Structure 1
Amino acid sequence: MGERIEGHGGHLALAALRAFGVREMFTLSGGHVFPLYDAAHNSDGAVRLVDVRHEQSAVFAAEAVAKLQRRPSVAVLTAGPGVTNGISGLTSAYFNGAPVVVLGGRAPQFRWGAGSLQEIDHVPLVAPVTKHAVTVTSTDDVYGAVHGAALTALTAHRGPVFLDLPLDVIFSYGDAAPTETTTPPVLAPDPDEVARAATLLAAAQRPVIIAGSDVYSGDATAALREAAEALHVPVFTNGMGRGSLPAGHALAFAKARRAALRGADVVAVVGTPLDFRLNFGDFGDAQVIHVVDAPTQRAGHVTPAVSPAGDLRLILSALADLPAGTALNRGDHVDWVDQLRQVEDAAKQAEQADLAADTDPIKPARIYGELRRVLEPDAITIGDGGDFVSYAGRYLEPTQPGTWLDPGPYGCLGTGMGYALGARVTYPDRQICVLMGDGAAGFSLMDVESLVRQRLPVVIVVGNNGIWGLEKHPMQAMYGYDVAADLQPGLRYDEVVRALGGAGETVAKPGDLGPALRRAFDAGVPYLVNVLTDPADAYPRSSNLA
């Protein structure tokens, strides 16, 4: 153990976080949390202070860092409305399994109940959407409380934590003994359950693996590839699992998922919930294997044939090893893989016309056809929207893991600018591209000013169809009319960005898209390409959202 750590509550909190590799603090200025700013300011550049225009962006930025870097990240929110403004971000992190540490300011203890500014008990508000939420009542306890919370956030199943720091606690001075443990415990799976899963997959005639975000957050992408190759099973991915198998891999699929799930006799879902994105785990007559990183993630609404729980690297590596010592014949899957490859190739060929469509107004698919030409393999692509981002999921295929950020199953709009902040802080030299519907733009576009002021260039592509497309088209189909689903058509979101110190342009013709995107990525400032798209174009949604 090292020497005791001394200082005010801000120093103690930051010392605990730095042990986990925290190098940034996202916030919106508030007097209740000044000591945390003081600690960052006096860290000799070790911790960068990044401030935003709305607290939700601070938490979304911390979520992006936590997901991309697979470590705790911190958002600091002042008392009262600062914390309540951040609850959507906390909830998103909760659904996405992101190890975000939120430190909240709080009215002083010694005057609690007398009506101090922004006095409210935050803990009951945030407890349902965090792994751990407490008020720290002693300055000497700050270091241990923050350290323990960060370790909890990082322990599978990962998720956000919240600590309330009363004004008199964080401004006071204390000390603490440092704690060396920053590695969460590894949960070993039941070997019998893993063996059953391997037997089902290897013996199946038409098996499928679907891998999700926890495969990336659990650093299990290499193990996934080993398991898929050992069992010779086709792999589909969602969330941050996208790109887990390299582009062109014989077992990597994206376009044939419907055919695969209709024809499969065994479906192994790894590191993602059996939610609306996967038809709630209903795959017809197929047996379901649900591989999760913690027992709490097992589905309660279905009963899988087997559900191994534990460290995903251990489970997937065991799946790769077991068939080698058995008489199971993975060669039985060859015809199945070939069949799906034919479907995949036909679907890719069929979409080429959409990607190159020369229509007026512009179809969203054409935007993605142009983006595919300019996005680099390690670009971070961020989705913030409804139908426009659904098209991104269909037409953009990440070639590397950890390069795709979307709101996840909670579906919260407004993540875009916060995710962009976190992504740019993480990767100063990569392309950062935000794909945003014009509805989503209304939630966070003001934080372009935060990007400009702190010299964080990103490219923002707005699919501007002047409607809430995810609601307008279904409502018309259900009722024959729609209400509360229109936005003002043709709004110049690029002019908003220019007014905030960035740059941009509006594109109305397909042939102008490519040059505009190249200008955006070359600009070196936040740049918005405002693309006027066809409001009659409805995403062909087939999933049951409820």
Structure 2
Amino acid sequence: MSTAASLTSRASSRYGDRVSISHYNNHAEAPPLTLSGHAGRHALAVAEAHGVGTLWTLSGAHVFPLYDAAVQSESGTRIVDVRHEQTAVFGAEATAKLTRDPGMAVLTAGPGVTNGVSGVAQAHFSGVPLLALGGRAPATRWGTGALQELDHPPVFAPITKYASTAATAGDVAGTVDHALATARSAHRGPVFVDVPMDELYSHADTELAVTGPQQRPEPDPAELSSVAGILATAQRPVVVLGSDVWLDGAEQAARRFADETGIPVITNGMGRGLLPSGHRLLVNRARSTAFGRADVVLVVGTPLDFRLGFGTFGGGDGAAPARVVHLADSPAQLTTHVELAAHATGDLSAVLDGVLDSYTEATRHVDHGDWTRRLHDQVSAALERDRALLTADADPIHPARVYGELNALLDDDAVIIGDGGDFVSWAGKFIEPGRPGCWLDPGPYGCLGAGVGAAAAARLARPDSQVVLLYGDGAAGMSLMDVDTLVRHGLPVVMIVGNNGAWGLEKHPMRFLYGYDVAADLRAQTGYDDVVRALGGAGETVTAPGQIAPALRRAFDSGVPYLVNVQCDPEIAYPRSTTGI
């Protein structure tokens, strides 16, 4: 089996396990790479050694040697060529999220590179290991006005862990190795390397010992004990599990922690699915009470940003402000804008297990049953209230009805991708993934247009799972042309557009603020399914609630990229209590 195929197979079979894919993890014992030929081969060989199995790109002569390297590679690295470089980077980012090995996007010089900036920024804010490898105008012509001559690294410096130029063919292997090792070290993130065109085509001979995994320090026992001590005094504790729990391979430790402490849990980002839907401790639907009445909130693997009210918890019903505890994969990730009662850093499995050991020893008789039951009762009540919306026969269609029908058709291992504002907010409320690593959304950066790239990556990483892309009609306009990529590469995906003919996330707040709205209307009758059919896929428009379920079943059964264009009520706004800014 090729490297690319074996990576895909392992990603599909083990994404719920703690085991990490990696050639990279074995490099302490691996012999050095002996590299010859053009520098493109050097770059790809090192990337493959770090676990890269897919090369996301849009064709450009500055980077042809990378394509030649993939074609000639014995490892079988797959080339996925797209219609816009943003899709290449979003595809690489989603690959990294799903497989927990680094993604790689190869971008031709100048506008090819700058088209990838938003995707790299999203990876930066999401803490995702990603290599963007760019072409660069020839070194021998630098400063003379060569085509697409731009010094790229300064553009990427603020949104990467490392941004540099590999100045010569002989520098390429070492620079790429250092970049990928940096991307994978805590706290993970994107890196950028460009190579002058003349040097990328040039030949060199070199030997390189690929950098092995960073050995992180053991968590500080005193910090673990302090965290456990805070929890031991809590009457109404809540645990928040975020994306880094998944990315750090700590899902089993998180599940043990929840089950053995009995503390209610709220999940966000790729933390969704760490506790399955219906778990007795999962209280996402009682979030307001949980955060408002908690006396201790333990935040694990996510920043205390706008998604968590900037870390302001407690105070509800006259309660005192909650004490906040933060667990992170590295010290730099600990919040600085909130006074922490305690904290701990390191490998999140080791941190969670260490806190659990101390907590169990100190609090064997602590019972949060009344608090947990109160929150669980609120979850049950919320689910009962949901029923009316999820089954609504309203005309025009209420967006919640789409999710009522979709939930009934989703498998536990379905990968759900959100690319939109209001329509995807409803999904966040009503869809609870069955397993970890199955939810992708724009994350804290809030970047639209990532959907098709993420969907293509999901289809490659999880070939046996359902892949569903939830589109706002605004977001659909940013990337729908890349359905052509899904068609050309044989990647069937179910796409659902919540078509309300508006930028809903902006339209309703602007009305509230000014009494009118501008620059917020789209054409509600746009046939997004027609676009998909024109590109070689299939689809249909839905105008009545009873049509939704049959259309979704046809989409899942089609075996092709299929778009269900649902005409939704433009007057329905997702209820928000804060602007989140």
Same fold judged by TM-score > 0.5? Answer: yes
Contact persistence 2:412–2:433 (CA under 8 A): yes
In structure 1, the residue matched to 2:27 is: none
Residue 254 of structure 1 and its aligned partner are, at CA, apart by: 1.6
Residue 131 (structure 1) aligns with: 161
Equivalent residue in structure 2 for 1:15, among 45, 50, 57: 45
The residue number in structure 2 matching 1:511 is: 546
Structure 1 residue 383 corresponds to structure 2 residue 418 = yes
Which of 312, 323, 344 is 1:308 aligned to? 344
2:284 to 254, 258, 261: 254
Return the alpha-carbon distance in structure 1 between the equivalents of residues 462 and 359 of structure 2: 39
User: What SS does the corresponding residue of 1:199 show, helix, strand or coil?
Assistant: helix
Structure 2: unaligned runs, 5 residues or longer: 1-30, 315-320
Pair 3,394 (structure 1): closer, same or farther in 2 beyond 3 Å = closer
CA distance, structure 1, for counterparts of residue 218 and residue 403 of structure 2 = 42
Corresponding residue for residue 475 of structure 1: 510
Residue 403 of structure 1 deviates from its aligned partner by: 0.2
Q: Aligned ranges for residues 242-391 of structure 1 at < 5 Å?
A: 242-284=272-314, 285-326=321-362, 328-391=363-426
Aligned to 2:79: 49
SS at 1:209 equivalent: strand
Identity %: 57
Is 1:537 equivalent to 2:572 in the alignment?
Answer: yes
In the alignment, the residues of structure 2 paired with residue 45 and residue 66 of structure 1 have an alpha-carbon distance, to the nearest angstrom, of 18
Superposed displacement of residue 175, structure 1 = 2.2
Tell me what 2:13 maps to: none
Cα distance, 1:45 vs. partner?
A: 6.0
Q: How many residues are paired up?
A: 545
- Using the size of structure 1 for normalisation, the TM-score is 0.98
Q: Structure 1 residue 324: deviation in Å? A: 2.8
Q: Deviations over 1:93-145 (max 9, x none)?
A: 00111101110000011111000000000011111010100000121121111
* Bigger shift: residues 247-256 or 495-504: 247-256
Question: What is the distance in 1 between the residues matched to 2:217 and 2:379?
Answer: 37
> Quick check: 1:202–1:330 contact (8 Å CA) kept in 2?
no
Q: Which residue of 2 aligns with 1:169?
A: 199
Kindly state the Cα deviation for residue 330 of structure 1 after the two structures are TM-superposed. Answer: 5.0
**Aligned pair partner of 2:215 in 158, 173, 185:** 185
Looking at structure 2, the residues matched to 23 and 93 of structure 1 have their Cα atoms a distance apart, in angstroms, of 18
Cα contact 1:221–1:245 (8 A) shared by 2: no
1:220-265 Cα deviation digits (max 9, x unpaired): 1111111222322111100000010233332122201111011100
Matches within 5 A, 1:91-102: 91-102=121-132
RMSD of Structure 2 on Structure 1 (CA): 1.1
**Is residue 39–residue 204 contact of structure 2 (8 Å, CA) maintained in 1?**
yes
Q: For the Cα contact (< 8 Å) 2:177–2:210, is it kept in 1?
A: no
TM-superposed deviation, 1:542 = 1.8
SS where residue 173 of structure 1 aligns?
Answer: coil
Residue 430 of structure 1 aligns to which amino acid in structure 2?
Answer: S
Contact 2:105–2:133 at 8 Å: present in 1 too? Answer: yes
Residue 229 of structure 1: aligned partner: 259
User: Quick one: distance in 2 between partners of 1:503 and 1:87?
Assistant: 31
CA separation in 2, counterparts of 1:51 and 1:539?
Answer: 36
Task: Say which SS state the counterpart of residue 412 (structure 1) adopts.
Answer: coil
SS in 1 for 2:232: helix
Q: Which moved more, 1:133-142 or 1:328-337?
A: 328-337
Instruction: Indicate whether 1:115 and 2:151 are aligned.
Output: no
Query: Which residue of the partner structure matches residue 424 of structure 1?
Result: 459
| 134-143 or 48-57, larger mean C-alpha shift | 134-143
DSSP-derived class of the 1:332 partner: coil
Question: 3-state DSSP class of the match of 2:418?
Answer: strand
SS of the counterpart of 1:4? strand
Instruction: Kindly indicate whether residue 228 of structure 2 is the aligned counterpart of residue 195 of structure 1.
Output: no
Specify the SS of the correspondent of 2:178.
helix
AA at the equivalent of 2:452: M
Counterpart position of 1:462: 497
Who is 2:94 aligned against? 64
Q: Which runs of 5+ in 1 are unaligned?
A: none
Q: Distance in 2 between matches of 1:268 and 1:38?
A: 49
- Residues 484-495 of structure 1: pairs in structure 2 closer than 5 A: 484-495=519-530
**Alpha-carbon distance in structure 2 between the residues aligned to 1:187 and 1:100:** 24
Runs of 4+ in 1 over 4 A off after TM superposition: none
1:87 is matched with 117
After TM superposition, the score normalised by the length of structure 2 is 0.92
**Shift in Å at residue 181 of structure 1?**
3.6
